[in-house]
């Protein structure tokens, strides 16, 4: 009896790890599931489950339970799967040329295939509700970093997507593909559309318009082995530059899901600040100098610093209301996107070369680059 009580008390005091799993809204997946550090992403199925079981130490059996099988079956059922496992979404343009926004007079056609559910699992040192919060945070960090580190040579990952298409825990975020599929079978399709009337002396026009669901292919943004390794390294470390990269990725993702260029510019400016700034705060001149010092070729550093000053000036003008949204266009947004992505890779290289263990080491490394007592190799 004493040993039983001891074991139960030990379980309460030292409960061990928790595995949290949930379905993902607004996401598709092609190919085999992937393990990324202490997390697993992929479509629901036995291959995914096998990787999840590998997360727990050998000898642990709490995943060998019939409740897990019921949960997997419920996930597949709730997704309203139609048998089609290919991503299917429409790209269209409205009268202003906005991608993904449909207009068709008084009709609301629906041609939606529900892809196989995407599921995420991770292990956590926390219990109950806190473990769910930790899993949510870890999923968001993985997606944020994947978007930042993804090398989109094909241009398929657009940097201007509506926030309601953002992948997130299903139920907390509505899955628009599933909603479209379900609502198409009712008399309430108008709930997904805006019935707009335009009246003027030269025009009287009514139309239905809606945003077509555009789920993100998570397998595509995580396809690079190098990027996955970088994500694992960043998430497994608590070094100062790893923390900066996680913060920068959060704000880069915020820009990615911003429809308005002016909002994206603000978020990208914060991402740049997170990468080259300092806890104590730095003036623009010092931030620009640090950005320039990330350039390995000394002859190009002045150009990089000047580039930063231009971007930061626009970011500040937007923040203080000196620029209207029409004066910040998509081209400038893309310029800042490229700058954040470049600075991210240079910070990763900076970390690999100088390995700063504290913020003071980051300052020292930048000072050494500034005075020429350290060089890039």
pLDDT tens for residues 120-151?
Answer: 999 988 888 899 999 999 999 999 999 999 87
Give me the mean pLDDT over the 25-48 stretch: 93
Distances (CA, A) of 233 to 77, 340, 358: 36, 19, 17
Question: Whole-number mean pLDDT of the chain?
Answer: 82
Q: What is the pLDDT of residues 234-273, one digit of tens each?
A: 999 999 999 999 999 999 999 999 988 999 999 999 999 9
DSSP 35-71: EETTEEEEESSHHHHHHHHTTSPTT--TT-SHHHHHH
Point out the least confidently predicted range of 282-286, 323-327, 334-338: 323-327
Q: Render pLDDT for 182-239 as a digit per residue (tens, 0 to 9).
A: 776 677 666 777 788 889 888 787 776 666 678 899 999 999 999 999 999 999 999 9
Share of the chain above pLDDT 70, in %: 77
Q: What is the DSSP letter of 325?
A: G
Q: Extract the runs of DSSP E, i.e. beta strands, from 278-375.
A: none
CB of 344 closer than 8 Å to CB of 275:
yes
pLDDT of residue 70: 84
pLDDT value at position 251? 97
Q: Residue 49 pLDDT more than 60?
A: yes
DSSP string over 295-345: -SSGGGHHHHHHHHHHHHHHHHHHHTT-S-GGGS-HHHHHHHHHHHHHHHH
Cβ atoms of 121 and 52 closer than 8 Å: yes
């Amino acid at each position: 009896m004493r040993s039983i009580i001891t074991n139960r008390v030990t379980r309460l005091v030292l409960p061990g790890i928790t595995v949290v799993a949930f379905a993902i809204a607004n996401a598709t997946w092609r190919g085999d599931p992937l393990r990324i550090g202490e997390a697993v992403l992929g479509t629901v199925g036995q291959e995914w489950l096998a990787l999840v079981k590998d997360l727990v130490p050998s000898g642990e059996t709490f995943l060998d339970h019939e409740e897990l099988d019921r949960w997997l079956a419920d996930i597949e059922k709730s997704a309203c799967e139609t048998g089609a496992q290919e991503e299917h979404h429409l790209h269209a343009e409205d009268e202003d040329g906005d991608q993904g926004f449909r207009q068709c007079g008084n009709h609301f056609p629906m041609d939606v295939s529900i892809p196989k559910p995407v599921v995420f699992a991770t292990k956590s040192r926390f219990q109950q509700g806190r473990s769910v919060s930790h899993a949510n945070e870890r999923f968001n960090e993985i997606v944020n970093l994947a978007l930042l580190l993804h090398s989109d040579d094909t241009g398929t990952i657009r940097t201007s997507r509506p926030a309601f298409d953002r992948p997130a825990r299903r139920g907390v975020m509505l899955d628009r593909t599933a909603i479209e599929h379900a609502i198409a079978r009712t008399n309430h399709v108008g709930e997904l559309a805006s019935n707009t009337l335009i009246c003027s002396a030269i025009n009287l026009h009514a139309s239905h318009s809606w945003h077509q669901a555009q789920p993100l292919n998570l397998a595509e943004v995580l396809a690079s082995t190098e990027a996955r390794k970088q994500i694992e390294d960043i998430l497994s470390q608590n070094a100062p530059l790893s923390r900066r990269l996680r913060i920068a990725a959060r704000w880069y993702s915020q820009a990615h899901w911003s429809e308005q260029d002016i909002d994206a510019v603000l978020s990208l400016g914060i991402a740049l600040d997170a990468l080259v700034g300092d806890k104590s705060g730095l003036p623009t001149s010092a931030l620009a100098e640090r950005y320039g010092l990330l350039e390995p070729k000394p002859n190009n550093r002045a150009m990089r610093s000047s580039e930063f000053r231009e971007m930061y000036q626009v970011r500040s003008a937007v923040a203080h209301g000196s620029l209207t949204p029409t004066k910040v266009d998509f081209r400038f947004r893309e310029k800042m996107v490229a700058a954040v992505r470049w600075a991210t890779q240079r910070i990763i290289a900076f970390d690999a070369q100088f390995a700063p263990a504290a913020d003071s080491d980051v300052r020292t490394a930048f000072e050494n680059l500034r005075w020429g007592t350290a060089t890039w190799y």
